[in-house]
Amino acid sequence: MYLLILTAWQVEGYSGYYALCAAIKRAIKEGIDILNPNLTATITEEQLRNVLRGDTEVEIPLLPERVRCLHEVSQILIDKFAGSFRNVVITAENSAKTLLSLIVNNFSCFKDEAVFMDRPVSFYKRAQILIGDIWACFKGQGLGYFKDIDDEMTMFADYRVPQTLLWFGVFEYSKHLSDKLKRDILKNGDIEEQEIRGCSIHAVELLKDYANKKLASKATNSVLIDHFLWDFRRKHAQEIANMGLPFHKVFCIYY
């Protein structure tokens, strides 16, 4: 059900992340001050439903949770950072590690953590992709310059990049796990979910180290590899689907 809903929600013909971007761009064109935390701190579910309305009657998943996250983030920006995320970035003083800490310690909806075999673990997918997007948008300069991004960022542990790693044969799933992923929706924090995300992070770190040893100079990082794998999946979506390669499905706010 989750897969069908997520696939069906579209904005201006786009799906997934690009649909969200299209909805935000449309709201700005319509004169909605959607980037102003003073508005989003009190935005209602009905107002956000209008902003994120799709091409059909299908509604974006987890709408109440999205409202709650907007309220939290907006109010903290107002209370602690003069109403601007730019001030959070400036406070980090060009350190991706410091910015990551600022994000997860101030905004609980980014605190992507779990317990694995009695040990606390963290993935911080959304916090890291936020930093990665700033870095990419500013081309690593100005506000987007982070002196430690090559060493302090991992891949963004979602559900599509592991599927692409399967495609390339970087790792394999057991038949039992593969069948389960095709059949079931996992819960956030399930051991299988944590193992998939953790192995994906480790695999990309190995790829990064291998690539940098082969290149004349250190020229890649986990963010760039993640971008390549994610873009590859979108460009080859039908081929990957035809192969029957599964991806894990989870209802949560951390992806």
Alpha-carbon span 152 to 146, nearest angstrom: 10
- Calpha distance 165→222 (Å, rounded): 14
CB 172 within 8 A of CB 238: no
Integer angstrom CA distances of residue 113 from 53, 91, 120, 187, 198: 31, 24, 7, 13, 12
Check if 158 is active-site. Answer: yes
**Could you give the CA distance from residue 218 to residue 213 in angstroms, rounded to a whole number?**
8
Q: Considering the candidates 33, 79, 158, 231, report the single residue annotated as catalytic.
A: 158
Q: Within 13 Å and on the Cβ side, how many CA atoms surround 169?
A: 0
C-alpha angle 137/230/99, rounded to 5°?
A: 45
Report yes or no: 186 and 248 within 8 Å, Cβ to Cβ.
yes
CA–CA dist 170, 226 (Å, integer): 14
Task: Please identify every residue annotated as catalytic.
Answer: 158
